[in-house]
Structure 1
Amino acid sequence: MALTPYIHAFRRQWIMLLLSVVLGGGAAAALSYMQTPIYQSDTRLFVSTNGIGSDGNQLNQGSNFTQQRVKSYADIVSSPAVLGPVVAKLGLGESVSDLSKMVSATAAPDTVILEIAVRDSSPNRARDIAKAVGEQFISLVEDIERPPSSAVSPVKISVVEEAEIPQGPVAPRKKFSVSVGLALGLAIGGGIAIARDSFDKTVRSRDAAADLTGSPILGAIPQDTAMHSHSLLLPSEHPTLGAEAFKRLQANIRFLSVDRKIRSLVVTGSVPDEGKTTTAANLAVALAQAGDPTILVDGDLRRGRLSDLFALSRGVGLTSVLLGDVAVSDAAQRWRHDLPLLILPSGPTPPNPVELLGSTRLSDTVDALVDDGFTVIFDSPPLVPVVDAALLAQATDGALLVVRVGKTRSDQIISSVEALRATGSQILGVVANRVQREPGHSYYSDVYGVSGA
């Protein structure tokens, strides 16, 4: 549906949306409560003619006469001739001009009813002024309409509704104002949310990551509290969602190519904190649990973390091997005796990581390990800051690109893909990290790449 993108945008920007609604409603409420309450008192007058008989023509003429007069009378109500005596009678502090802004008169259409309304901050004053205006208006009209030769005015004005003390203010309309504020806040917040979302380049789903790389999703690592707390998922009789996800990842890699088994790969990402080291470590553990002799190599010669993750010494490692100081068999360390898994730390930090990783000694080392029956997994630095991972990918069967859903940006992924392709490296697939279960994805869709219920 056309509304789906907007609904997703509102969900992603819900904090902004909620803040706008709260601010809109709060501002409207504050303004309403800061305003002085205004009260309105009304009086209604009936205009008729004196001395008309029961003849139909006379009655009709009288009715037309009073209706025409009523339209003119509405303008007289707020005139100085009416309001001046009212100011003097009640001792008001307002001028006639100020009082005229408080008084209004309307003639009901096609009737002889004149409605006078007075608004004031005091309900008692509103009643008193409305009553005085009505009385003074009646007196003025009788004087105006009385012929010089007659003692009686042909126009008779009667009060049909006396002015009363209003029970509540007519302004501000607090509930209405708050409702308008909430609606405006929602509209403004919605507009900002849609605008922010349209400019947001963050990858929000595994499908978006696959589209950007042109490569399949080989694994979807869920938001697993156990994994985020400990990083390394130890073998257990009660596997977590994260452990099961890595088992599926290693199975997908195993069956990625029917012609040639993937025996070496580099796990990398675009930027720091995407989970590439955790992914490489747990993938190696999953491969070893499946019975594959595996060696996990820390290819991050700048800030290697595997030795800390597995609680091993990093004094001797990949740097030592590439410099020819020690053989792999002497530098690699066994993590657990019940798993066919060796760990090769990064070793001492060299002054020239790029030269070491671009040397033929690296590819020779990888080939030798593969020939010995190992599956070789490299951890590596991120691709956007440095080229190290692309050089490692050249020496292996390809790269797994880790994308942290909800954090990695599309432009960062594009830069990573370009860096790998510039060295002729193959992108084996994408690992979507910290994903939430999406509609249309199930166990089978994660493993086989098809939709399921």
Structure 2
Amino acid sequence: MKLNQFAAQLRRYWATFGVVAVIVAAAGIGLAVLSPPRYVSTTQLLVSIEGSTTASAYENDNVVTGRVATYVALLTTDAVAQRVIDRLGLTESPRDLAGQISAAAVPPRTAIIDVAVTDSSPDRARRIAAAIGPEFIAYADSLETPTGEDKQQVRTKVVTAAGEPGSRLPETLSLAGLGVVTGLLLGAVAVWIRGRTDPVLRTTADAAAAGVPLLGSVAAVPAPSEDEFIGYRGLRAHLERRPVHLDQQRAHLGQFTPTPSVWVIASATGEADVATVARNLSRTIERHGGQPVVLVGDSCDPAQARALIEPARPDHTHVLVTAPPVTKSVSASVYGEFSDGVVLLAALDSSRRGEVRAAVAHLRAAAVRVAGIVVANTWKHNRTEG
């Protein structure tokens, strides 16, 4: 879909976009605002080897790298959390406390570990972060054994004490902003879905999807302006290009003289002003030197249809027959048998896709040629965005 097409859909379905965007954005902002405040206190640990020598520096570096990766995982275990709980006399379970602790190695390939504690209380966050350092060091020392030929010992110490907790307000603002952006995106998706599934014809492109030629768009108003007559001139030009085989067929059968043209004008369900369109088309044909006549065809009897059309053909260049809605009467099919084809009218914001397709199928089932679809608007400026 092109940008201008989406912009047109956005204007058309602005209510859908607004409702979805506001609901989602409000949910995101509400979640951010109502979430309890969170505070983060951090501390840093340094992992090193005591008694290392230059000769074993490379080996010791690999040992430290491995220990850092192991310690990062150990810092968030229940065992370390239990030691902190015992030290501070906390009441939560080790699993819950471990969920408040995060650890990560400072990149790239350093021996420093960042430890962060998140809590709803700034004092508790600082106390837990301060307790993790010594408790983890004691726990790690109990697990360590001397390494290497020189029996070096891996040691851990606190290099940055737990500081004053910082508020996670930026994360709250980010969550609110994410809610707004998500609301806008989902609103746009809702507009796209609405445009794809809307059963009502909204644009001329929608009308063209019925599977027959789109003959144009006209203003179905009693007194069209000169600009609005442009659509009728285009429709007249389309109808003048009727297939040559229709004239040859009629001449061969001896039914009618091949020169005059007969067009049945009808809508799918009565949503378009057929009489007004026929009169305006007749006026346009007269302006171009033609001799049109508009007839009302409301009979379902083929003999009466023939009797209405045949006398009009010799004295007119164009015979326009207005018929009842295709899906409510067989008149359009009956008169269509004696015409060059049926011009099917559709009204934007009123005609439904399924009804227009049903009308086309009805005419084709009766072996009547459908000349095409004309969008008959009741406003001055026709919509052509697709």
TM-score normalised by the chain length of structure 1: 0.59
Distance 1:427 1:69 in 2: 81
Matched, 1:232 2:232: no
Name the counterpart of 1:83.
Answer: 84
Q: 1:133 to 1:410 in 2, by over 3 A?
A: closer
Structure 1: runs of 5+ lacking an equivalent: 147-153, 301-352, 440-453
Distance 1:63 1:424 in 2: 88
- 1:21-32 matches, cutoff 5 A: 23-32=23-32
Distance 2:59 2:340 in 1: 106
AA in 1 matched with 2:296: D
Q: 1:407 to 1:113 in 2, by over 3 A?
A: same
Q: Deviations over 1:81-129 (max 9, x none)?
A: 63144323xxx45355543332345566865434332111122321222
Distance 1:244 1:76 in 2: 79
Distance 1:46 1:426 in 2: 87
Distance 1:142 1:249 in 2: 92
Shift of 1:40: 1.8
Shift of 1:387: 0.5
Q: 1:240 to 1:105 in 2, by over 3 A?
A: same
- 1:24-423 matches, cutoff 5 A: 24-48=24-48, 52=51, 56=54, 75=74, 79=80, 82-88=83-89, 92-96=90-94, 98-105=96-103, 111-137=110-136, 158-169=157-168, 172=171, 174-175=173-174, 178-179=177-178, 182=181, 186=185, 190=189, 193=192, 197=196, 205=204, 209=208, 212-213=211-212, 219-222=215-218, 224=219, 227=220, 231-233=221-223, 239-250=225-236, 252-253=238-239, 256=242, 260-262=258-260, 264-290=262-288, 292=290, 294-300=292-298, 354=300, 358=301, 360-371=303-314, 373=316, 375-396=318-339, 398-404=341-347, 408=351, 412-421=355-364
* SS of alignment partner, residue 42 of structure 1: strand
Compare 188-197 and 279-288 and name the one that shifted more.
188-197
AA in 1 matched with 2:87: V
* SS of alignment partner, residue 92 of structure 2: coil
* SS of alignment partner, residue 344 of structure 2: strand
* SS of alignment partner, residue 436 of structure 1: coil
Q: 1:144 to 1:363 in 2, by over 3 A?
A: closer
Q: 1:86 to 1:391 in 2, by over 3 A?
A: same
AA in 2 matched with 1:282: N
Q: In 1, are the aligned partners of 2:242 and 2:340 still within 8 Å (CA)?
A: no
Compare 131-140 and 112-121 and name the one that shifted more.
131-140
- How many residues of Structure 1 are paired with residues of Structure 2 in the alignment? 358
Compare 64-73 and 427-436 and name the one that shifted more.
64-73
* SS of alignment partner, residue 164 of structure 1: coil
Shift of 1:19: 5.7
AA in 2 matched with 1:161: T
* SS of alignment partner, residue 36 of structure 1: coil
Q: Deviations over 1:321-376 (max 9, x none)?
A: xxxxxxxxxxxxxxxxxxxxxxxxxxxxxxxx53xxx1635533433344455854
Distance 2:115 2:357 in 1: 73
* SS of alignment partner, residue 162 of structure 2: coil
Shift of 1:380: 1.6
Q: 1:268 to 1:70 in 2, by over 3 A?
A: closer
Q: 1:167 to 1:375 in 2, by over 3 A?
A: same
Identity of aligned residues (%): 23
Distance 1:280 1:178 in 2: 56
AA in 1 matched with 2:383: Q
Distance 2:68 2:177 in 1: 39
Distance 1:175 1:245 in 2: 53
Q: In 1, are the aligned partners of 2:37 and 2:168 still within 8 Å (CA)?
A: yes
Distance 1:362 1:62 in 2: 104
* SS of alignment partner, residue 212 of structure 1: coil
Name the counterpart of 2:250.
Answer: none
* SS of alignment partner, residue 211 of structure 2: helix
Q: 1:208 to 1:70 in 2, by over 3 A?
A: closer
Compare 111-120 and 96-105 and name the one that shifted more.
96-105
* SS of alignment partner, residue 267 of structure 1: strand
Distance 2:118 2:282 in 1: 81
Q: 1:25 to 1:81 in 2, by over 3 A?
A: closer
AA in 2 matched with 1:131: A
Distance 2:143 2:286 in 1: 110
Distance 1:65 1:206 in 2: 70
Distance 2:187 2:68 in 1: 47
Matched, 1:436 2:383: yes
Q: In 1, are the aligned partners of 2:203 and 2:384 still within 8 Å (CA)?
A: no
Q: 1:68 to 1:268 in 2, by over 3 A?
A: closer
AA in 2 matched with 1:124: D
Q: 1:44 to 1:297 in 2, by over 3 A?
A: same
Shift of 1:381: 0.8
Q: 1:165 to 1:430 in 2, by over 3 A?
A: same
Q: 1:240 to 1:31 in 2, by over 3 A?
A: farther
Structure 2: runs of 5+ lacking an equivalent: 146-152, 248-257
Q: 1:437 to 1:209 in 2, by over 3 A?
A: closer
